[in-house]
Amino acid sequence: MRIALTIAGSDSGGGAGIQADLKTFHQFGVFGTSVITAVTAQNTVGVRAWEALPAGLVAQQIDALATDLPPDALKSGMLGSEELVETTAAGIARYSLPHYVLDPVMVATSGDALFADSVGAQHAVPLLIARRLVPLAALVTPNLDEAAILVGEEVRGPDQMERAARALVGMGAQAALVKGGHLAGNEIVDVLAVGGTVRRFSHARLDTTSTHGTGCTLSAAVAAGLAHGRPLEQAVTDALDFVHRAIAAAPGLGRGHGPLNHFVPAPPRPPNDGL
């Protein structure tokens, strides 16, 4: 049984964050563990309130898991303060945790900010993510806005997405997947840069508001694939396919941006995995 770890915030609505990650890990046949960085009061309409956990408790969660249930791969999501970014980076480096997928969560699907409400935090946290976490990552998975913040330039189309993905690799990441869900038009393009190569993935846009937790689910699915030992490009391909089908089969819950359907089948596990 392979282990995948999520370091992220708790979503009381169950569609994103820790909850979405653990559901995705389960579907992909890996044992999910979690380090909770924040507790949110949210639903499909928006984030009503959130509070970060103390950095010391986050560090102890990482220590507890790394010394007894070491992950074969991991992902991080909501890290709402400079202190939590530093704590996460230190923990990953301290235990040389492998196959790290960085989802640089900055804003919820509802548009609510997920940074500590302090002077300069909305500038300091992204800069610290770029400096401390990007160089540790096997893969960075920003959307258009997150990519623009991390690389410091506008990202609005596939060509700019490619430049941003290459820039993130130049900042130290092994690979970068710039997600195009916010692109205009009927086609969505996601751009993957690995080393010196670039690949574009395209699929038709689905007419739906059930998009809550797409980034969380995608990064968790990639981490699960990496935990199984799949090559990065295969893990990304499987994850994009899973998310697309999960959106298409969304149950239509809530009055806002509804959750995906995490019950859709994941790509089959290798035959030597048992079940």
* Catalytic-labelled residue, pool 179, 180, 225, 258: 179
* Catalytic-labelled residue, pool 213, 217, 225, 258: 213
Residue whose C-alpha is closest to residue 198's, from 180, 176, 218 = 176
Give CA–CA dist 39/54, Å, rounded: 11
* Catalytic-labelled residue, pool 33, 109, 211, 217: 211
Give CA–CA dist 250/214, Å, rounded: 11
Known active-site residue 215: yes
| Token pair for 24 | 């995705």
Give DSSP secondary structure letters for 207-258. Answer: --S--BTHHHHHHHHHHHHHHTT--HHHHHHHHHHHHHHHHHT----SSSSP
* Catalytic-labelled residue, pool 13, 14, 216, 225: 216
Give CA–CA dist 263/7, Å, rounded: 22
Known active-site residue 196: no
Q: At what angle do helices 82-95 and 121-128 cross, to 10 degrees?
A: 10
Give CA–CA dist 3/26, Å, rounded: 10
Known active-site residue 214: yes
Known active-site residue 274: no
| Cα of 148 vs its chain's centroid, Å | 16
Known active-site residue 91: no
* Catalytic-labelled residue, pool 17, 32, 91, 215: 215
The amino acid at residue 229 is G
Q: Specify the residue for token string 């959130």.
A: 50
Give CA–CA dist 16/109, Å, rounded: 9
* Catalytic-labelled residue, pool 88, 214, 217, 237: 214
**Residues identified as active-site:** 179, 211, 213-216
